[in-house]
A and B are shown apart, each in its own frame.
Chain A
Amino acid sequence: MTARRASSLMAPLAAILACGGGSGSSGGAPSSCPGAAALWAASDYSSSAVGSVSLAGKVDSVAGAVDLGADPAMSISAGRAFYVARDEDAIFELDGCGAPKQRFSAHVASHPGTSDPYAVAVARDGTLWIPLFLAASVLVLAPDGSVARTIDLSSFDGDGNPDASNIVIVDTPAGEKAFVALDRLNPYPKSVQPSWMLRIDVTTAKIEATVALAGRNPFTVTQAGSILWLADPGNFDDATEADAGIERFDTSTSTTALVTPEAQLGGSVAQVAVSGSCGTALVADPTPNVNATSLVTFDASTGAPLVTASRSPLTTAGFDLEGLSWVGVDLLVGDRRRAAGGYPIHVFAGNAACTVMERTNSLFVPMPPVAVCPIP
């Protein structure tokens, strides 16, 4: 098997993850953390922090913990929130304040170094399903954290590692299924061959199908009911690739389609968040080693772009926007440029016409955000 590791220098490419099963509802704030509306994970790729924030600006955070690692991600699944310390092979379940309350190990002893867990999905039986980006497998942990099984994925790419980067578990008409996104970056980190979606039956752990995705390099996967929204940037140095953009995957039929090509949006798509028929995305321009980010909108029912990068309400000079999520009627956008009060999470008000307007009150977190998710 060929191992690979995203070094800290490559972290921005690898760290952005959507909230997985998060579907954009605001949920109720836990009593221990009144007013908390969103969870966030943040990192400068040297150390990391995690916490929650209320729309009034109150922030709770945990920072300075060595096992939070230097390259985090966040997952929401089955009403549970997880902070994934990818470089530490550690997964922390979070409480409603965004504070870690339980740790799970995603380490695979047979793999030297970190296995690089990328996301977490919770099955109905309480097992945790974890794609391992470097260990070419899906790790299934029992509710008590012990290893229930390991599903080998090494045969799904010629280099021995299909780069499993995300997972969502969905109740489909055919039963409970795990959908595992395979980037299939070969030669790494280039995206030159089709990416796939694996369908695994949760009960039997059998791989039932491989679906060739319409777009390449599924960067983030965002669940909205039976639909998975995929951000397919392809290669970030090209914003005109035909097989890159926003992809809509229907888990009930395991069919998929590229609904918005990246050329129509004005940049490679890094993240997608959908609320009803209002789709939003973060896109990056193709300038090498710059990749200026913008917030764009599209009609989720048709895929038609509404506001493209050239008319974006929020544009940065570099690859600065990370973390995108709907919290009720508000859209939260993470920004890695420090302002006087900290690192901003911009709050946009959305409406039925999918027009987003920035509210005056940005929220601030203590480190550069990489993920923003609604509290489940």
Chain B
Amino acid sequence: MLPAVIQAQVEEVVVHGTEAGGFVSRADEHDSPREVTDAASLVEPLPGVHVRRYGADDAFTTLSIRGSSSTEVAVVFAGVRLTGGADPSLDLASLPLWPGAVVRVHRTFTPAALGPGSLGGTLVIEPPKPMSPARTETWAAVGSFGEARLRVGSVSDMGTGRVAVAVSASRADDDFTYLDPLASSQGHDVYATRGNAGHAAADGLVSWALPVRWSSESWGALTVTTLAQARHQELPGTVLGPTPFARLDSDRELASAELTGGAGRGMLSVRAWGRREGLRLEDALGSAAVGPTRADQTIAATGGSVGWRGRVTSDATIEAHVDGSGEHFEPGLTAGAPIPPEATRTSAGGGLDAEWHATDHLVLAASGRVDGFSNASAGATTGDLLPTGHLGIEVPLDFVTLAAHGGATARPPSFVELYGDRGAFIGDSALLPESAWTIDAGARGSHALGKLAIALELDGFATWADDLITFVPQGAYGRAKATNIGVARLAGVEADARVRLGPLELRGAYTGLVTENDSACEPVVGPCVHPALPGRPANDLVADLIGYAGPASVRFGVDAITGMVADVSGGIGVPARVLASAGARVDVVRGVRLAIDVRNLFDQRTGTYQGALGPVHEPIGDYYEYPLPGRSLLVSVRFER
């Protein structure tokens, strides 16, 4: 083990930001009261976050932060941005997971040091830290619908350095039954089995850190993180248009190397990274998806950054970064559909995060970036210059800390928005970046009184988003053209609470959201009444009550979603959904924990919608064409030493 002073210098530079810089939620796989099956289930309980699942675990899943669309959320892993021009909307199911995984969600405002900002927040997945204490941990589970999962993580010495290794694998059939709305009739529910919904995936990660001695008093580290993933995903389609033969095989390879060292009153870091993703879609001729029967695609990206973080005065710190990246999208073998255009994006930018502890009760923060993007396809080049930034203030008091932020965010158009796919989607190379102004303010605090311990965070936010890119049907064939017509207003409150009283603990996260889609009208005659944005719940609650008794604990949880509309004009209300769950854990011997988790405890599989002739049953789900499973069981064991 390295001396502590050296260890502090060789820790990988992880950009956390501060509350003065923006509200951040954190989820730790070790700390979750529920058994974590995938990355989506890890972030699902966080305030401000809404996970949209298009089926069971491991089905296509997207993330919305404070009502954003999934394309407006950036995803960063090991300092490498996984979202880009070619894939702005990341499938959370494709993210790796390992024992002790930690994720952070920057709700709207993101530190400039994390790279080009996003319009709707950033999900940061931290890789296993080689400098953390040595341990080996294994988690294995089997469950309903053919589910089997294995996660192994290990941190150990490696010569003068340290290495963290993580391996995970999972498979499932996800052949749950759902109410078939086509076969059902009034008073006669017919259930069908979801077909072609399974997956199999394997991930491997190695991260090692080698101390680097720059001088007798200055140490740094070389930290290298590599990730390799392979995934076979069956694509079931919708319940109205099933695709029994559609499959997506994908792989992702990633490498990141960071060199750190003391420089002046801070630390200098240099990072280089590369990412490659391969996708191969296959479907049957005449599929309901009306897409290609074969489509191969490759995304390759590389980049680097140089940054310095340190104190400029005794009470002020800054973190300055310059970075650049290149991304290339290349279509491969394509059959049954036009070949999408090849595209390239290069970007360069710089940013500064500053924090000034003006007094004991006042912290001021500022963050700003300027990013230049250059997009090229078919010999044509376009570019954008995106300035973004925000200011923040934090007021620490005795039992509570107040914080407020305000600023501008933006998102450059994606490749499909700029160039289309030569099929159903028409691009527009003259698109403007999406932009938004957001303000938020809140308070957090914690207090203990005898056996009672309370930690609470409460905040409110408002966003004005303009130039949102919306696909609008054009022409007789209804091809969707990207346009900058979207305007939206969003406001909400977020609450995150943890209360412990003796052997009982209550955890809950609530998000209340009011949205207005100013580019659409409700289905009414007369002046336009703007509807809510579809797919955003007005109320989203995740709560767990946990009881502890010696080495055992039991849990009862609730996931409630109300006030969501399914359609653009806001006419179709999605019925409220309250799903219960329960679990139990017991440490049978030191380092061995058994757990059982039951989700959707009461097997709720249908919701009652308004129909033309009265109430009708439809499958539950954010979008009823993508049903969610009923009750499921997961039995798991965790070994740790």
A binding-site residues for B, Cβ under 8 Å: 2-13, 42, 44-47, 49-50, 59, 61-68, 70, 83, 87-89, 92, 100-103, 105, 107, 109, 112-114, 159, 161, 188-189, 233, 236, 268, 270, 284, 287-291, 318-319, 338, 340-342, 364-367
Q: Are B474 and A103 in contact (CB under 8 A)?
A: no
**Chain B residue at smallest Cβ distance from A92:** B612
Q: Which residues from B are CB-within-8-Å of A366?
A: 522-525
| Least CB distance, A286 to chain B, in whole angstroms | 9
> What residues on B are CB-neighbors of A63 within 8 Å?
523, 569, 571
Q: B44: shortest Cβ distance to chain A, in Å?
A: 25
**Is the CB–CB distance between A9 and B612 below 8 Å?**
no
Q: Is the CB of A12 within 8 A of B525?
A: no
Across chains A and B, which 6 residue pairs bring their CB atoms closest together, nearest first?
A64-B571, A47-B567, A12-B478, A2-B286, A236-B476, A63-B523
Q: Which residues of the partner chain A approach B566 to less than 8 Å between Cβ atoms?
A: 47, 66
- List, in ascending order, chain A residues with CB within 8 A of B476's CB: 12-13, 233, 236, 268, 270, 284, 291, 319
Residues of B contacting A: mostly: loop
CB<8 Å pairs between A and B, sample of 28: A4-B290, A5-B241, A6-B290, A9-B479, A10-B477, A61-B523, A61-B525, A63-B571, A66-B609, A66-B616, A88-B182, A89-B182, A103-B186, A103-B613, A107-B182, A113-B288, A114-B241, A188-B286, A236-B475, A284-B476, A289-B479, A338-B528, A341-B525, A341-B526, A342-B526, A365-B525, A366-B524, A366-B525
The reply to whether B478 and A11 form a contact with Cβ atoms under 8 Å apart is yes
A367→B529 CA distance, assembly (Å)? 12
Complex contacts, A8 vs chain B, CB 8 Å: 478
The answer to whether B473 and A189 touch across the interface, beta carbons within 8 angstroms, is no
Q: Is B161 an interface residue (CB 8 A)?
A: no
Once the chains bind, are A100 and B567 in contact (CB under 8 Å)? no
Asked if A12 contacts B568 (CB within 8 A), the reply is no
Q: Which residues of B contact A109 (CB under 8 A)?
A: 183
Q: A12-B478, A268-B476 are in contact. Are A64 and B523 (CB under 8 A)?
A: yes
Q: Given the interface contacts A44-B569, A66-B611, does A12 sit within 8 Å of B477 by beta carbon?
A: yes
In the complex, the answer to whether A340 meets B612 with C-beta atoms within 8 Å is no
Contacts A65-B611, A88-B182, A342-B524 given; does A11 touch B473 at CB 8 Å = yes
B499 within 8 A of A: no
Interface residues of B in 577-633 (CB under 8 A from A): 609-613, 616, 618, 624
A12–B475 contact, CB under 8 A? yes
Contacts of B183 in A (CB 8 A): 107, 109
Cβ–Cβ contact B480 & A290, under 8 A: no
Are A10 and B242 in touch, CB under 8 angstroms?
no
Q: How far is the CB of B109 from chain A (nearest CB, A)?
A: 32
Contacting residues, chain B, for A268 (C-beta < 8 A): 476
Q: How far is the CB of A269 from chain B (nearest CB, A)?
A: 11
- Cβ contact within 8 Å between A92 and B613: yes
CA distance A12 to B571 in the complex (A): 20
Q: A12 to B241, alpha carbons, bound, how many Å?
A: 18
Report the minimum CB–CB distance from B111 to chain A (whole Å): 37
- Taking A12-B475, A12-B476, A65-B611 as known contacts, 20 extra A-B pairs with beta carbons closer than 8 A to each other, sorted by chain A number, are A7-B241, A10-B290, A46-B534, A47-B572, A49-B571, A50-B612, A59-B525, A62-B612, A68-B612, A70-B567, A88-B182, A107-B182, A113-B238, A113-B242, A113-B288, A233-B476, A236-B476, A287-B475, A288-B475, A289-B477
Contacts of B523 in A (CB 8 A): 42, 47, 49, 61, 63-64, 366-367
> Is B424 in contact with A319, judged by CB distance below 8 angstroms?
no
Task: Judge whether B121 is part of the interface by a CB distance below 8 angstroms.
Answer: no
Write out the residue numbers on chain B whose beta carbons fall within 8 Å of the beta carbon of A291: 475-477
Number of interface residues of B (CB under 8 A): 54
B442 is an interface residue with CB less than 8 A from chain A: no
A-B pairs with CB below 8 Å: how many? 174
Enumerate chain A residues within 8 angstroms of B480, measured Cβ to Cβ: 9
B244 close to A (CB within 8 Å): yes
Interfacial residues of chain B within 477-497, with CB under 8 A of chain A in the complex: 477-481
| Chain B residues in 8 Å Cβ range of A87 | 240
Q: Write out the residue numbers on chain B whose beta carbons fall within 8 Å of the beta carbon of A4.
A: 286, 288, 290
- Alpha-carbon distance A139/B185, docked complex (angstroms): 17
- Bound complex: CA of A170 vs CA of B520, how far in Å? 42
Set of chain A residues within 8 Å of B568, measured between Cβ atoms? 44, 46-47
Cα(A8)–Cα(B241), bound, Å: 11
Find chain B residues with CB under 8 A from A65 CB.
Answer: 572, 609-612
Interface pair A289/B612, CB less than 8 Å apart = no
Among A10, A92, A233, A338, chain B packs the most CB atoms within 10 A around the CB of A10
Of chain A, the residue at the smallest CB distance from B420 is A289
Q: Is the beta-carbon distance between B616 and A67 smaller than 8 angstroms?
A: yes
Q: List, in ascending order, chain A residues with CB within 8 A of B528's CB.
A: 338, 340
**CB of B84 to closest CB in A, whole Å:** 24
The answer to the question of B450 belonging to the interface, with a C-beta cut-off of 8 Å to chain A, is: no
Q: Cβ of B477 and Cβ of A88 under 8 Å apart?
A: no
Interfacial chain B residues near A290, Cβ < 8 Å: 474-475
A356 to chain B, nearest CB (A): 23
Interchain CB contact under 8 A, A67 and B611: yes
- Shortest Cβ distance from residue A340 to the other chain B in the assembled complex, whole angstroms: 7
Q: Please give the distance in Å from A38's CB to the nearest CB on chain B.
A: 15
Are A47 and B611 also in contact (CB < 8 A) when A89-B182, A290-B474 are? no
- Verify if B340 is at the interface (C-beta below 8 Å from A): no
In the docked arrangement, what's the CA distance between A2 and B245, Å?
Answer: 13
The smallest beta-carbon distance between B26 and chain A, in angstroms, is 36
A50, A92, A114 interface centre (most CB from chain B within 10 Å): A114
Closest to B291 in A: A7
Contact of B182 with A113 in the complex, beta carbons under 8 Å = yes
Find the B residue at minimum CB distance from A14. B478
Contacts of B244 in A (CB 8 A): 112
B159 within 8 A of A: no
**A9-B479, A66-B624 given; A113·B290 CB < 8 A:** no
A59 to B523, CA, bound (A): 12
Chain A residue numbers with a CB within 8 Å of B609 are 65-67
CA distance A70 to B571 in the complex (A): 12
